[in-house]
Amino acid sequence: MPELPEVETIARTLRPQIRNTSIQSIGVLLPKALQAGTNLLPCLTGGRITNVSRRAKLLLVSVSPSVFAEKALLKGEKEILLVFHLKMTGAFFVHPAGTDPEKHTRLMFDLGLAGRLFFNDIRTFGYCRIMLPQDLNQWPFWADLGPEPLGMSAKELGLHLAETLAGRKISIKAALLDQRVVAGVGNIYADESLFRAGIAPMLPAASLSRNRMIRLAGDLQAILTKAIEECGSSIRNYRDAHGNAGAFQNAFAVYGRKGARCLDCRTPLRDTRVAGRGTVYCPKCQK
């Protein structure tokens, strides 16, 4: 559920709360939440959190290891990354020192007087990988990530999409959801940007003209930018690192509105499945 705007919001709200704190200890309440790098776990003790950032739907916590860990365990390595994927229900909260884990707490980082960072996840699809920066590119998912949609102009993004998807048979919605094509888009923002661009989700991606692809790129960027301004979309569980809900769900034109009428033409919205995902669109406005 947390897509690019939600993970960006979490990074922004978490950063000021944990930057420059030091990790006293780590509690692993659900072993499978730690998907890789268990061997690096001891290297984090005494480390200082230097930044919180985002790439695609991944949240990255940068840790500067203690001098002891750097010399004795890491052969001089000066940065360790905690790479989190929140999947559908992952969330972060900072609670006061001494707070007990909650029902859905999977990992707990004791930050001394700064409190405790909780990684909570109801459905347990989310994970954390402890990685060294130079190992990121050995991780296929990371190495194959497409570009950040907000990291270039609409024209550049549109041309990238057109070039990447030429000759392929997948639908435009499946293409937007494919993290190798463009990074950070999930079901909500795929449906919303396709509505805004007036493109039917099941249309073959390769059938779109360059100009339509550039238009779609611009609409995707506009939707993502607006969603970040609104601190993301809160449906079901999403909260930022302060526990606050986002507001972009109030601006949904199609997502979650099946059976309702199109905001533009009053035609009943149709729901179907595309790329294995629930998909809502306007059969009249989206061709």
Partner DNA sequence: TCCTCCCTGTTC
Partner DNA sequence: GAACAGGGAGGA
Active site residues: 2-3, 57, 277
Task: Select the residue interacting with DNA from 28, 88, 245, 260 (CB under 7 A).
Answer: 88
Q: Interacting stretch for DNA, rule CB under 7 A, among 14-22, 85-93, 128-136, 245-253?
A: 85-93
Could you write out the three-class secondary structure of 99-166? CCCCCCEEEEEECHHHCEEEEEECCCCCEEEEECHHHHHHCHHHHCCCCCCCCCCHHHHHHHHHHHHC
Encoded tokens for 246? 């986002």
- Quick one: 105 or 286, whose CB is closer to DNA? 105
Q: Site for DNA (CB under 7 A): which residue of 1, 63, 162, 285?
A: 1
Draw the binding track, 146-185, toward DNA (x: CB under 7 A; -: no contact).
----------------------xxxx--x--x-x------
Q: Which stretch binds DNA (CB under 7 A): 61-69, 119-127, 155-163, 216-224?
A: 119-127
Residue 36 or 73: the one with the smaller Cβ distance to DNA is 36
Shortest CB 279 distance to DNA, Å: 8
Among 51, 99, 124, 203, the residue binding DNA under the rule CB under 7 A is 124
Amino acid identity, residue 97? A
Q: Given candidates 45, 141, 147, 247, which one binds DNA under the rule CB under 7 A? A: 141
* Least distance from DNA to the Cβ atom of residue 145, Å: 9
Interface with DNA by CB under 7 A: which residues? 1, 3, 32, 56-57, 85, 87-88, 103-104, 122-125, 140-141, 168-171, 174, 177, 179, 186-188, 236, 255, 275-278
